[in-house]
Structure 1
């Protein structure tokens, strides 16, 4: 899989990076699949994303890799405790690669816009539904 191509800002395709083993991942995927938009879905519980790709995703989101990790997730707390965790960027990437369930939500890349979704229904804003259709 080539995320570089994924992040090529294709206006005709939405990319969803999600974890099928989480309820937010399953629900967000269902919303995305129900849309008419061409969808590339990447299930991180089955497809490993490289460190370079995670760095590019975080950059595209305008955030840091540690901010993509849910530090309150039970599996993260079990491995690292619930106090402040000081990890290198490489270590944060390893956390995402080895414990994909700790991803904070789902990542939607739609053209030039990228967003981290933590509420599955929020994806509706990015599905390209014409606002006139909603008003009618």
Structure 2
């Protein structure tokens, strides 16, 4: 097993001593979030979704823990998404949204942080400090 946060069955494990970050290392918000977390006292398990495969089960588990739809993970204004689907409203099912994330992971809209039992969708990187140092 690669690490203790990603189990073989594709589910999300929690570790109070380590922060897991799902992010796009090429996005400004991803870079900023990574910088804030590395400045904390906790170990970090960064998962750059553009370089490491995240399973459909893991995406579904993250969405469930965050109480959001998988579609909420996707920036529909991203040029790659626009190239695939145009700028009209897109009606996809959960499986289709997962496929978008797996095939074009750079369209992820926000970094996701797993800190113990806390699951956070990071829209403002500086807000992460109060959550990871608790």
Q: TM-score range by the shorter chain?
A: 0.7 to 0.9
Q: 2:18 touches 2:116 (CA, 8 Å); kept in 1? A: yes
Of 108-117 and 8-17, the range deviating more from structure 2: 8-17
| 1:1-12 mapped onto 2 (5 Å cutoff) | 1=2, 3-4=6-7, 7-12=12-17
User: What is the TM-score normalised by the length of structure 1?
Assistant: 0.86
* Structure 1 residues without counterparts, runs of 5 or longer: 130-136
Matched with 1:133 is: none
Q: Distance in 1 between matches of 2:116 and 2:26?
A: 26
Q: Is the 8 A contact 2:23 2:30 kept in 1?
A: yes
Distance 1:59 1:95 in 2: 18
Give the CA RMSD over aligned residues: 1.7
Map of 2:127 onto structure 1: 122
Mind listing any 5+ residue stretches in structure 2 that lack a counterpart? none
Number of aligned residue pairs:
129
Could you tell me which of 76, 83, 88 is aligned with 1:78? 83
Q: Quick one: distance in 2 between partners of 1:18 and 1:97? A: 13
The 8 Å contact of residues 24 and 106 in structure 2, kept in 1 or not, is answered as yes
Find runs of 4+ consecutive structure 1 residues off by over 4 angstroms.
none
Pairing of 1:47-86 with structure 2 (within 5 A)? 47-86=52-91
> How far does residue 41 in structure 1 lie from its aligned partner after superposition?
0.9
Q: Which has the larger radius of gyration?
A: 1
Structure with the higher helix share, 1 or 2: 1
Are 1:22 and 2:27 an aligned pair? Answer: yes
TM-score (norm 2): 0.87
Deviates more, 1:42-51 or 1:117-126: 117-126
Deviation, 1:9, is 2.5
